[in-house]
Structure 1
Amino acid sequence: MNTQEILQVLPNLSLEDHLIIVEAALKLINQERNLSRIEQKRQLQAAAMMAVSDYAPESTLLVFSELDGEDFHDYSM
């Protein structure tokens, strides 16, 4: 279930269900915040590894870098 689906279902739930969801979400946030330094480093390394392909030659992220050094507008008259 994605965020949009969850937000659509929420108004149909009871107050008790809302509180259960909020409590569960806060527990998850608190657990993530209390990650050890080692686990934080592991997560950052994993995210960096996933992003490597974005910065590889010929990636769509770097397409506009081909314009580096070119004048944006020709002011010669």
Structure 2
Amino acid sequence: MSSQVRQNYHPDCEAAISRQINLEHYLSYVYLCMSFYFDQDDIALKNFTKFFLEQSHEEREHAEKFMKLQNQRGGCILL
């Protein structure tokens, strides 16, 4: 999909989307860490592992959607 010209894209909106992208990535990493915590041999709660791994993937997908939106609107992605 081609990028649109940066038109009617307020800087505050761009900043808010960038903050949301960063939050989504942060949550993805937190869920990933929790998933591996529950996967340890001394803990071994496989259903928790699976749940948090799925949540991590979901948050990463959210971040990717926001990044795609930011690119389409001609904004800058700040990580």
User: Scaled by the length of structure 1, what TM-score is found?
Assistant: 0.39
- Structure 1 or 2, whichever has the larger Rg, is 1
Q: TM-score, normalised by structure 2?
A: 0.38
Structure ranking higher on relative contact order (CA contacts 8 Å, 6+ apart)? 2
